[in-house]
Structure 1
Amino acid sequence: MAIDEPGSAPTGENSLACTVTFGRSSFVGRSLVSALLKSGRWTVRIADPLPLPDPSADPLLSGSIRSGRASYFQVGLRDSSQLRHAVAGSVVVFHVAPPAVLSPPLPPSDFYRLYTETVQGAKNLIAACRACGVRRLVHTGSADVVFDGVHGIDGGDESLRYPDKFEGVLSELMAQVEILVFNANGRDGLSTCVLRPSNPFGPGDSSFLPFLVAAARLGLAKFIIGTGKNMCDFTYVENVAHANICAEQALRSESTSVAGKPIFITNHQPVELWDFISNILEGLGYQSRPTIHLPVKLVLLVVVLANKVREKLGFGIPSSPLFTPAITYTLSCTRTFNCSAAKRLIGYSPIISLELLIYCCGEMKGRHLHISFHLICCFTGSSFLEELLSHQLPKSYCWLQSFSLSMALYLHPCRFGFNLEKMSSSYFQVSESTVRQSFITMASLWNKVVSVLKLLAQGDDWNVFFKAAGFLYVVKLLLPFPLSALIGVGLTCLFSLFIIYEQCEEEVDKLVSTASAGIRKLKERMVANLPSFLVTYLQELKN
């Protein structure tokens, strides 16, 4: 598959040339490229920093490149000269925001690279559009630019201003990109507008679905932060692509005043966030729905303290995106938007509703595809599952699907000579005596700790003092090492001791008894050589 030379003219009769940025690395960009190619009215240029995908991974794109209806430019937005070649000859540029997780991932601390990928890249793209005579620029950003990370938004519209303090670095940079796009409107004949989709999701999503799966694997799927009644707007990725096409048509017709304005894009169906999450997790095979409510302030306190301890002690544990104050507020706040402007200005209405998505997932589940979910993920990863749920299963995996389903249905436990009986609920009951004994043990441990602390405070028991000092010294020696390394060494030594003892039990017992006898004799000799007043003092301490 050949990549078109920079600056080559688009081909195809009665077709308009357009350029899509991040048409491969962003799942929104991939969906937009597919929608443009399927319409048959566009010659699509893709400008992306990643190399051209394998032909089998995207048959539509590879076929369009062979027929001349698409061209691929491996170029980043930081390269101004190559960027001008990519947009030359296009009448419209669809600027999809770079994905929050690039390859390699860009953490919020890497501000310079985030800035160059977003703000500086947008500056270069706008300059290329003006230099090459591009007529229209549609930028797809995010509704997060109006969210301060703390206060909820209920039915927000385009009159909302940017917050005084943004949710995170990426949201602030996205807001700067929007301002650049607004300021470019009307200059050198360029018309611009900004789309703000709320929580886009769909095939190829590398943030929302993996986030839920990671939380579920950590056992966090049973918890609800806050009341669980907060509403949120989600937008299916194909609806975002459809909104881009509607915005371009509105800019071209000039019959509406959409130029230079932001437009919120949603599915027009606000849902309870935790109910939506529960439905997704059930579709992925996690049977337990979130039922345990946690106060928002309590979760925030735990998150802040955990991050502080990690930063101060430096155990070598990287910060997790699951445990941040921003995520806590996002999962507990209401975030809904009024999309009447999208219908009035660009004629947008969702082409795929949430009911249709739920129905499709129900049909898929009805075919027992959920039986082999864990087995399939072990072989193919989460990206395969996303394609499976979106009815876009590659042909190269069809054999694996059939094989996995057949094996899951055929290998019944009775085939191996035994049956798995249903366990009685009594196995999971905890008796009152067991609970009472557990609390008594905890109280005893607490009293023992308090007693030791009192002895240390009085300063009379040197035995306790030296034990505490030795313990603290050992802890000080271990603190510089990463926690993961200490756990690994500890488990290795523990299992090694078990294996050695199992293989040489008699020899180990003899060695332990001999060492104990030697230590006792050494102790007796040392005590015999001590002055009499020390012997008397040690006997008093012992009594």
Structure 2
Amino acid sequence: MAEGDERWCVVTGGRGFAARHLVEMLIQSGEWLVRIADLAPSIKLDPSEEEGVLGDALQSGRAMYVSADLRNKAQVAKACQGAEAVFHMAAPDSSINSYQLHYSVNVEGTKNVIDACIECKVKRLVYTSSPSVVFDGVHGIHNGDESMPYPDKHNDSYSATKAEAEALVIKSNGKNGLLTCCIRPSSIFGPGDKLMVPSIVAAARAGKSKYIIGDGNNMYDFTYVENVAHAHLCAEKALASEDAGAVRAAGQAYFVTNMEPIKFWEFMSLILEGLGYERPRIKIPAPVMMPVAYMVEWVYKMLAPYGMRVPQLIPSRIRLLSCNRTFSCSKAKDQLGYMPIVSLKEGLKRTVESYSHLRAELHVKRRDTDQPSKASIYLGSGKVADTLLWKDKKQTLTTLLALIAIYYHFFTPGYTIITAIAKILMWATLFLFIQSILPAKILGYKLEKIPASWFHFSEEKTRRIALSLGSTWNSAVGVLKAICRGKDWTLFFKVVVILLILNFLGRISFHSIFVTGVPFVFVAFYVYEKREEEIDGLVYQALSFALKLKSDVMRKFVTSKQSAAAQ
């Protein structure tokens, strides 16, 4: 680059997975000086980066780091000063279940980026969107193209806020000379990924990778990370072109994939086998898993305030694992000139090689020392797990004594629910009052005071609970609307079965649930942790038998129906 021809570009979220590859590609092109914008106060390079392209560029001034929070408009404007192009790639972790976080970063943060681009007279803005903006979480997508509309309801808050941000970017095209477009890369994978491959390996080590959800034939489009970076460069060049290319690309969204659709479970198997783990073989129909997933989701919503982490087995994840998600790249090929530069086979090879530290043989050596059990993972690996698995015996015994005391003092006398709750609150009030007036020490023993903050709900937590309740209500209304249309028989039967189960559970007294449920929970998870392999083996056999029985019944039914038709 000749002196005086300096062209600065900005990469927001520049320390993220795909963004790191884009930054290196921009530096290697020799056409750009790169400003890396991210949350951290300073940049910390990996050893490989220090000796590589990025380390050299930072030392020579061809790249610089800027600390910027997208939610701070002044910081974003400062990062965009003097830039010709902005690649807006910043986004929160999609696995985090927080609408407020997703909205503040994806929507409000994107508004700040757009405003900063207009204020700083940036010429081009390329936004990293997601194919999930057109996914409703229920219906699969086969060879979807850009004509697909946004659904009325998205699969999660991440997808909904990404769609809202994408719409803002498209709408801003042409304002003050700013040209914009959006890239929708499908299922990004490659070296440096901290989500997909580590999650697959964690599942394999927990013994959960043996299962296939659905029939295993659902097709997916994956995108190697360098192809994602390449697509962003193609988009910027199309916007910068002086011919009709800029006119065609401006204000548009583009699906980007490796253009090599593959069965989802075959892709997972290739990664697992490449790292020395067993490929999944046991097929479980998605409808069989959904009731369990709804139950797990309900338990999570109840226990999340007490430390339970977001579980893997939830309805939205079951749908993602069992449906088709393939997209056409014809528009990106025709208007951006995009073609993958790394094949799927080569991308998988590079990915597996980059995760040699997660290979199965290394796990075997360390499994007994630092790997959590499946029971702990199922319980969220937090305080709930420590209590139910007797990891913290003092905490477990305290919880048991408290439950026993509650049972004998408030439920055995035959009180109604309202009376029992009133008495619990009365004793709690008396206890809190007495402990507040006691001295800090009695006979040399320090008394731990219960702070008022234990009972305080922050504004953020209150908003989160309200959003969760609203989302649950809207989901129920959506189901009701679908039933009222009278076309979705599968959904109708699911609702009927769930209501029958609730009707059955409603007949069980609270006394019975308490007496049988509490001991069962404290014993069952502990026993499962100690006898994981034996219990899993029995479960595998039961599932195999059930699936074989179902197959035999269906075959006999079809045969008898064909015989009747022939007669």
TM-score normalized with structure 1 length: 0.64
Alignment counterpart, residue 219 of structure 1, candidates 182, 204, 207? 207
Alignment counterpart, residue 187 of structure 2, candidates 199, 218, 222? 199
* Distance in 1 separating the partners of 2:353 and 2:191: 17
**Offset at 1:71?**
1.1
- Whether 1:278 aligns to 2:269 is yes
Cα deviations by residue, 1:95-124 (Å, 9 ceiling, x for unpaired): 0041426xxxx832x322321111110001
State the AA in 1 paired with 2:93: A
Alignment counterpart, residue 186 of structure 1, candidates 174, 181, 186? 174
- Whether 1:322 aligns to 2:315 is no
* Distance in 1 separating the partners of 2:327 and 2:92: 22
- Whether 1:301 aligns to 2:291 is yes
**Offset at 1:355?**
2.1
* Distance in 1 separating the partners of 2:26 and 2:122: 18
**Offset at 1:126?**
0.5
Further displaced range: 301-310 or 120-129 = 301-310
- Contact in 2 for aligned 1:267/1:354 (Cα 8 Å): yes
- Structure 2 counterpart SS, 1:221: coil
- Structure 1 counterpart SS, 2:159: helix
- Structure 1 counterpart SS, 2:331: helix
**Offset at 1:152?**
0.6
State the AA in 2 paired with 1:94: F
CA 117–376 in structure 1, closer or farther in 2 if over 3 Å, else same: farther
Residue number in structure 1 paired with 2:21? 31
* Distance in 2 separating the partners of 1:334 and 1:364: 28
* Distance in 1 separating the partners of 2:77 and 2:19: 19
* Distance in 2 separating the partners of 1:167 and 1:18: 33
Alignment counterpart, residue 363 of structure 2, candidates 374, 391, 394? 374
State the AA in 2 paired with 1:95: H
Alignment counterpart, residue 140 of structure 2, candidates 139, 143, 152? 152
User: Structure 2 matches for 1:258-407, cutoff 5 A?
Assistant: 258-286=249-277, 288-309=278-299, 311=301, 316=306, 318-360=308-350, 373-374=362-363
**Offset at 1:83?**
1.4
* Distance in 2 separating the partners of 1:368 and 1:29: 23
- Structure 2 counterpart SS, 1:229: coil
CA 217–146 in structure 1, closer or farther in 2 if over 3 Å, else same: same
* Distance in 1 separating the partners of 2:122 and 2:146: 26
- Structure 2 counterpart SS, 1:91: strand
CA 11–323 in structure 1, closer or farther in 2 if over 3 Å, else same: farther
State the AA in 1 paired with 2:295: L
CA 469–46 in structure 1, closer or farther in 2 if over 3 Å, else same: closer
CA 23–311 in structure 1, closer or farther in 2 if over 3 Å, else same: closer
- Whether 1:208 aligns to 2:201 is no
Residue number in structure 1 paired with 2:536? none
* Distance in 1 separating the partners of 2:348 and 2:304: 44
Residue number in structure 2 paired with 1:135? 123
**Offset at 1:144?**
0.8
TM-score normalized with structure 2 length: 0.62
* Distance in 2 separating the partners of 1:122 and 1:313: 33
**Offset at 1:15?**
3.7
Cα deviations by residue, 1:407-461 (Å, 9 ceiling, x for unpaired): xxxxxxxxxxxxxxxxxxxxxxxxxxxxxxxxxxxxxxxxxxxxxxxxxxxxxxx
User: Structure 2 matches for 1:437-456, cutoff 5 A?
Assistant: none
**Offset at 1:324?**
1.1
* Distance in 2 separating the partners of 1:90 and 1:157: 32
* Distance in 2 separating the partners of 1:99 and 1:183: 23
- Whether 1:66 aligns to 2:59 is yes
Further displaced range: 348-357 or 49-58 = 49-58
Gaps of 5+ in 2: 372-508, 531-567
Residue number in structure 2 paired with 1:531? none
- Whether 1:14 aligns to 2:5 is yes
CA 473–54 in structure 1, closer or farther in 2 if over 3 Å, else same: closer
State the AA in 1 paired with 2:265: W
- Structure 2 counterpart SS, 1:220: coil
* Distance in 2 separating the partners of 1:224 and 1:370: 21
**Offset at 1:305?**
2.2
Residue number in structure 2 paired with 1:77? 70
Residue number in structure 2 paired with 1:90? 83
Percent identical among aligned pairs is: 43
Cα deviations by residue, 1:311-364 (Å, 9 ceiling, x for unpaired): 568895725341111111111101101101111101000000012234557889
CA 268–376 in structure 1, closer or farther in 2 if over 3 Å, else same: farther
- Contact in 1 for aligned 2:10/2:35 (Cα 8 Å): yes
User: Structure 2 matches for 1:470-509, cutoff 5 A?
Assistant: none
CA 62–302 in structure 1, closer or farther in 2 if over 3 Å, else same: same
Q: Which structure has the greater CA radius of gyration? A: 1
Residue number in structure 2 paired with 1:168? 156
Alignment RMSD: 3.5
How many residues were matched structurally? 385
CA 43–228 in structure 1, closer or farther in 2 if over 3 Å, else same: same
**Offset at 1:309?**
4.5
Residue number in structure 1 paired with 2:93? 100
- Whether 1:253 aligns to 2:241 is yes
- Contact in 2 for aligned 1:235/1:267 (Cα 8 Å): yes
Residue number in structure 1 paired with 2:445? none
* Distance in 1 separating the partners of 2:180 and 2:366: 42
- Contact in 2 for aligned 1:140/1:196 (Cα 8 Å): yes
